[in-house]
Amino acid sequence: MSLRIGALDLLASPPRILLANSYAWRAGETTGPHYDESVLITVVDSGRGRIAIGTRSFACQRGQVLHAPWASPMHYASDAHEPLAMTSLHLAFRPWSEPTPPTMPITRPAQASRRCMTGRPGAQPWDDAFAVQDRGDLRELARRAVSAWSARSRRHLLLRGIAAEIVDALAAARDSAIPADTHPHAAAVRRIATWMEVHISRHVSRAELVARSGLDATTLTQAFRAVFGRSPTDWLIDARLREARALLRTTEEPIGRVGLRVGIADPFYFSKLFKRRVGVSPQRYRAGEG
């Protein structure tokens, strides 16, 4: 993990989560402007729409991650047929010597035109609005943040650790991956990624991906690496294990059944792959480790 992003020293001024929540928009819902006294990171979980951050407007769909600098005016427009669902993380960067800022009230966006604009702007790693494609880690980290934030007894050091991981992962995505809508084959790659995630339990061959994308094998792999920072095979493995982690923590299904549901039929290979990638066995992960 990098301890410095631009002029911001994450060790001296670590990120602190002011609010972490998920929200499903109604079909065709529009709202704004909103101003938040925070740095806002938004992960699009599903659906489509447009999000304007200041003067920049982003066409959004599943897998995109947006960064909004402190107190940016925000406008939201959810698609009429595929409404947006997103996870939002509000962060402040403060020295350890300063007290933890007050948390932000959870309200419907339509009721939150101005949440809290009385404090001074905080330090922030980036001053611009931007969107990147999730490489697989940001969505999982956002889920962890919401879960930790929603716990009956909040563990603030745990929340700070998750927040630091999120900022580090976002920095890596910004530095190594091409921003959303920039690569000439970004739309085709995102379409294939969404299809793979929807059909996570299926065996997917390279030939099928090539046929569905309309690209040749070399171009598809290069585009995937440019947009996601990894090959289609590695991306699919990460997606399978990400879903497996969610199933292990939220269901009591047998380990073999979990593997089958994420497209890995051999339970021995599933356990071996899970341990190699996650660091602990599925059984230990279900017990709370990892």
14 and 65: one domain?
A: yes
Element (H, E) at 201: none
263 and 168: one domain?
A: no
How many structural domains comprise the chain?
2
DSSP code at position 100: P
**Whole-structure pTM value:** 0.61
Q: Which residues contact 199 (CB under 8 A, 6 or more apart)?
A: none
pLDDT of residue 68: 92
Give the count of beta carbons closer than 10 Å to the beta carbon of residue 244. 25
Instruction: Identify whether 181 is part of a domain.
Output: no
272 and 138: one domain?
A: no
220 and 110: one domain?
A: no
pLDDT of residue 178: 57
Q: What residues are paired with 41 via a beta bridge?
A: 67, 89
pLDDT in tens, the chain (290 residues): 556 776 677 777 888 898 899 988 888 899 888 877 789 999 998 888 999 998 888 888 888 899 998 878 888 999 888 889 999 999 988 777 666 555 555 444 444 444 443 444 567 888 888 888 887 788 889 988 998 888 877 777 788 889 989 998 898 888 765 555 577 888 898 899 889 988 999 999 999 999 999 999 999 998 887 777 678 998 898 889 888 988 998 889 999 999 999 999 999 999 999 988 777 899 988 887 75
pLDDT of residue 111: 45
165 and 194: one domain?
A: no
132 and 239: one domain?
A: no
pLDDT of residue 159: 86
149 and 14: one domain?
A: yes
Q: Which two tokens stand for residue 195?
A: 């299809």
pLDDT of residue 213: 92
pLDDT of residue 196: 92
149 and 236: one domain?
A: no
Instruction: Identify whether 144 is part of a domain.
Output: yes
Q: Residue 79's domain is classified under what CATH number?
A: 2.60.120.280
Distance CA 85, CA 203 (A): 28
* Domain finish residue from 176, 198, 219: 176
pLDDT of residue 109: 43
Distance CA 35, CA 224 (A): 35
* Domain finish residue from 176, 203, 221: 176
**Do you know the residue count of the chain?**
290
Q: Which two tokens stand for residue 47?
A: 């659906």
pLDDT of residue 257: 95
Inter-residue contact 233 to 277 (CB < 8 Å): no
190 and 168: one domain?
A: no
pLDDT of residue 108: 44
233 φ, ψ to 5°? -65, -50
Instruction: Identify whether 269 is part of a domain.
Output: yes
Q: Residue 270's domain is classified under what CATH number?
A: 1.10.10.60
- Parent domain of 248: 186-286
24 and 163: one domain?
A: yes
